[in-house]
Amino acid sequence: MATPRSADPWLLRLGAGLARGVIDLLLPPRCLACENPVERQGLLCAECFPRHRFITAPMCARCGLPFAHPGEAGREGLCESCLIHPPVFGRARAVWRYDAASRDILLPLKHADRTELAPALARLMAAAGRELLAGADLLVPVPLHYRRLVARRYNQAALLARGIGRIARVPVVPDLLRRVRATPSLGELGAAERAAVLAGTIAVAPRHRARLAGRRVVLIDDVLTSGATANECARVLLGGGAAAVDVLAAARVPLSRPDAGLTRTRSTPM
Ligand SMILES: [Zn+2]
Ligand SMILES: [Zn+2]
């Protein structure tokens, strides 16, 4: 006799996800950030919209740092940080500045199982990264260490990558990169220390190595903070044969100091 599988958390989760999907279809669409009704799924309401600081031109041509005015751009439209310490990756773009407003959307996606936010975020990211995606061969999410993946059950960057891949019609390889070692929080570390701590923590999965040769990769993450993780991923991808690596994030910390972190890690192939 078959035993009921009501205790299987994965099935319960799947059931809850499906139920939420059905409810979403039946209920009027809600704002991405609050409970206010909106015209279409995935929009911000009139109250929330002004709180969200979208990144638009002018911005650094390389790392996407928003400028207050066009005069802030240095040589070739670059920010001071990119002129002094060019990042390992080619270009980076993001939808929003990372602040209280974008955190209110991104933290629930990361920690509270609000995976239904991913398709709407993917739409916004596909728009912000249009230039990058136009030339892309592959989308690769920033990997989570498997222990974190087990605890959280999903990688938010992989969810976003899948959504963007569908919209931009670019293949996604969710497990192309692997965290081979867990890393401590990088919060308090300087740029050089971050790079040192991250060196050797990320690797190309051997079975995907052949897919990488000569490909233009767009690395997908939820938040671009210091750029150290994106740099380490880019270093590994370029070392693995990728022709170019750009970065697309939902939000980025608007760094203003050149020593704040978007610096080149050691032995870069640039
Ligand atoms: Zn709202
Ligand atoms: Zn820059």
Per-residue pLDDT of the chain (270 residues; tens, 9 = 90+): 444 445 566 666 667 666 766 666 677 888 999 989 999 888 999 999 999 999 999 999 999 999 999 999 999 999 999 999 999 999 999 999 999 999 999 998 888 888 989 999 999 999 999 999 999 999 999 998 877 887 878 899 999 999 999 999 999 999 999 999 887 777 778 888 888 888 899 999 999 999 999 999 999 999 998 889 999 999 999 999 999 999 999 999 987 544 444 443 333 333
Could you tell me the distance, in angstroms and rounded to a whole number, from the CA of residue 63 to the centre of ligand 1? 29
Strand order from edge to edge, sheet including 138-141? 92-97, 244-252, 216-224, 138-141
R_g over Cα of the chain? 19
Could you tell me the distance, in angstroms and rounded to a whole number, from the CA of residue 22 to the centre of ligand 1? 21
pTM: 0.84
Could you tell me the distance, in angstroms and rounded to a whole number, from the CA of residue 52 to the centre of ligand 2? 22
Could you tell me the distance, in angstroms and rounded to a whole number, from the CA of residue 17 to the centre of ligand 1? 22
The kind and range of the H/E element at 97 are strand 92-97
**Euclidean distance between CA atoms 176 and 207, whole angstroms:** 8
Q: Tell me phi and psi for residue 198, to 5 degrees.
A: -80, -20
Among all bound ligands, the one having the nearest atom to the CA of 31 is: 1
Task: Name, in order, each residue with C-beta under 8 angstroms of 126's C-beta and a sequence gap of 6 or more.
Answer: 133, 163, 164, 167, 168
Third-level CATH fold of 54-260: Rossmann fold (3.40.50)
Could you count the other beta carbons within 10 Å of the beta carbon of residue 4?
Answer: 6
Task: Write down the residue that tokens 């809600």 correspond to.
Answer: 30
Among all bound ligands, the one having the nearest atom to the CA of 32 is: 1
26: amino acid identity, one letter: L
Could you tell me the distance, in angstroms and rounded to a whole number, from the CA of residue 216 to the centre of ligand 2? 20
Q: Is 5 exposed, middle or buried (0-12, 13-18, 19+ CB in 10 A)?
A: exposed
Among all bound ligands, the one having the nearest atom to the CA of 51 is: 1
Enter the DSSP assignment of 66.
B
Could you tell me the distance, in angstroms and rounded to a whole number, from the CA of residue 47 to the centre of ligand 1? 6
Could you tell me the distance, in angstroms and rounded to a whole number, from the CA of residue 35 to the centre of ligand 2? 36
Could you tell me the distance, in angstroms and rounded to a whole number, from the CA of residue 80 to the centre of ligand 2? 7
Could you tell me the distance, in angstroms and rounded to a whole number, from the CA of residue 15 to the centre of ligand 2? 44
Residue pair 227/241 in contact (Cβ under 8 Å)? The answer is no
Could you tell me the distance, in angstroms and rounded to a whole number, from the CA of residue 78 to the centre of ligand 2? 5
Among all bound ligands, the one having the nearest atom to the CA of 43 is: 1
End-to-end CA distance of the chain: 63
